[in-house]
Structure formats: C-alpha cells, structure tokens
C-alpha cells in the first residue's frame, strides 16, 4: 500500500478498513457491517458464542459470495471455470472475515476483563462504527471529494454502525 498523507504513524495499519484494491475494500466494509448486524441481533449468553456466531456467519457469507462468482462465470462464459479461477475465488475476499478482527478483539478483551456481555457488545459495535467512519473518510480522500462531501461520506458510513448500536440497545 502506498503511504497515506492522512495516516498517523501511531495507529497500526492493520486497523485501517480500506485495502489495496476496490474489491478488498468493499469486502472489508461489508464484513464489518455484517458482523455488526450479527452482534446486534445476537441473544447469546457468552462472548465466545457471539464471536463464533459472527465468524461462522461471515465465513458463510464469504463462501456464498465466492460460490456465486464461480457460478456466474459458468453462466456468462458458457464453460466450466478453470482451476485457476476457482483457486483465485477461494483465496480472495477474506477481508469480509478479517476486517472484523478488531471489533471481535474488543468484545473478547472486554469480556475477559469482566464487562457484562451487553456492554462488551456495545463496545465492539462502537469499534465497528469507528472503522466504518474511517472507511467513509478514506472514501472521501481517495475519491477526491470536497471537505463537505467527505464529511457526508463519513457520516453515512458511520450511520450503519449507529443503527446497529440503537438496535442492540432496543433489543436488550
């Protein structure tokens, strides 16, 4: 990745939601949104159950997306996908799963330190919201948006997280 003018060296690059290419960035953003949805709707009694639910759901979504891409190639190209295509599909798009690492770590750490599950989930959802805002801000930067458009991009991205926080608060 090329260095960012807006990137603070004190913040590890691994928490950055945007990735090397458009596809990976979209997968990462989608993964954060899906994981936040699972966390907000979960009625699990333990943090590890929420984490497992998130990881299983994201892995299923990843597999479904990869399968759909392989089938779509078959439909549109009119032939069996090559092993190269299948291998490519099975080795890409993992950002959908891995982009949720930080929120899940927040959930796990807060639980280990004795926070109630709802509190730990709300902290993880807050982390997801921050990641979405960072993605919205990066979209504005990389999309050469004006300052006003960049703020709108950040707010729109963050609103996904806010909706899940409200949903979790209303469900419990």
Position 5 in a domain: no
Neighbours of 94 (CB within 10 A): 17
Domain count for the chain: 1
Position 52 in a domain: yes
Q: How far apart are CA 96 and CA 73, in angstroms?
A: 21
- Residue 27 makes CB contacts below 8 A (sequence gap 6+) with 19, 65, 93, 94, 95, 96, 99
Position 152 in a domain: yes
Position 130 in a domain: yes
Position 9 in a domain: no
The pTM (predicted TM-score) of the whole model is: 0.81
Position 112 in a domain: yes
- Under a CB-based contact definition with an 8 Å cutoff, are residues 30 and 57 in contact? no
Q: Would you write out the chain's pLDDT as a tens digit for each of its 172 residues?
A: 344 444 333 334 444 455 567 888 889 999 999 999 999 999 999 999 999 999 999 999 999 999 998 998 888 888 888 898 889 888 998 999 999 999 999 999 999 999 999 999 999 999 999 999 999 888 877 778 888 999 998 999 999 999 999 999 887 7
Position 86 in a domain: yes
Domain residues for the domain of 81 are 21-171
């Amino acid at each position: 990745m090329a260095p960012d003018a807006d990137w603070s060296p004190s913040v590890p690059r691994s928490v950055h939601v945007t990735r090397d290419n458009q596809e990976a960035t979209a997968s990462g953003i989608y993964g954060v949104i899906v994981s936040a949805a699972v966390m907000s709707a979960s009625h699990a009694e333990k943090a590890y159950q929420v984490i497992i639910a998130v990881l299983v759901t994201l892995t299923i979504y990843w597999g479904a997306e990869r399968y759909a891409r392989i089938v779509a190639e078959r439909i549109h190209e009119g032939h069996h996908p090559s092993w190269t295509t299948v291998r490519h599909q099975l080795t890409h798009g993992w950002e959908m799963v891995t982009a949720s690492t930080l929120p899940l770590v927040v959930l796990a750490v807060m639980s280990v330190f004795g926070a109630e599950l709802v509190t730990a989930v709300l902290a993880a959802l807050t982390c997801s919201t921050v990641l979405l805002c960072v993605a919205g801000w990066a979209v504005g930067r990389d999309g050469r948006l004006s300052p006003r458009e960049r703020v709108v991009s950040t707010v729109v991205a963050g609103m996904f997280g806010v909706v899940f926080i409200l949903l979790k608060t209303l469900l419990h």
